[in-house]
Amino acid sequence: MIYGFNADEVFQIAIDIEENGKRFYEKAMDIVDNPDVKAVLGSLAKEEAEHLKRFTELKAQLPKTATEDTVWDPEHEMNQYLQMMADIHVFRSDLDVEKKLSQAKNPEDILKLGIQFEKDSIVFFVTMQDSTEEKKGREIIGHLINEEKEHLRKLSLELERLKD
């Protein structure tokens, strides 16, 4: 294992990603007219809010050891790598959410943005899971990966339904 992120660092990035996902789905609901797409987006916004709540609670419950460095890193390269992984996510900030949504021309574009968001989240969480040594953190990240895969499935099914 090249990197050894602690669970606290991973949870904070996860919290940030879930917050951006929640914002995206809520704002997307406001601009979509299609009631079926709006319902899917609303459901996903609620699920992202639940993820956000769960990760905030879990982060607060982490033992002190979860905030300690897992390897010697005097140059803080692990933090830089973690930040780089978060920065390449499709929605790095609320401004990115606004910018991407302003470019969406129809419900299909919004669903495709949601699909990209979920794919980026899955890649990020898989990378973080592989880089986290603390067992409990790895297990919880694994659960989130499965939930994000389910979001991806829902968005993909709705996109296919619109194409029919």
DSSP type of residue 155: H
Whole-number pLDDT of residue 87? 67
- Could you read off the pLDDT of 53-72 as tens digits, one per residue? 888 887 887 777 656 655 55
Amino acid at 89: H
Q: Residue 122: pLDDT above 70?
A: yes
Whole-number pLDDT of residue 1? 39
User: What is the arithmetic mean of pLDDT over 22-32?
Assistant: 93
Whole-number pLDDT of residue 74? 61
What domains does the chain contain, in order, with CATH numbers? 7-61+83-163 (1.20.1260.10)
- How far apart CA 68 and CA 48 sit, in angstroms, is 28
Whole-number pLDDT of residue 9? 72
Higher pLDDT among residues 155 and 63, named by residue: 155
- Could you read off the pLDDT of 69-120 as tens digits, one per residue? 555 556 666 666 666 666 666 555 566 778 888 888 899 999 999 999 899 8
Q: Is 92 exposed, middle or buried (0-12, 13-18, 19+ CB in 10 A)?
A: middle
- How far apart CA 163 and CA 150 sit, in angstroms, is 20
User: What is the arithmetic mean of pLDDT over 31-51?
Assistant: 94
Taking all residues of the chain, what is their mean pLDDT, rounded to a whole number? 81
DSSP type of residue 51: H
What global pTM score does this model have?
0.79
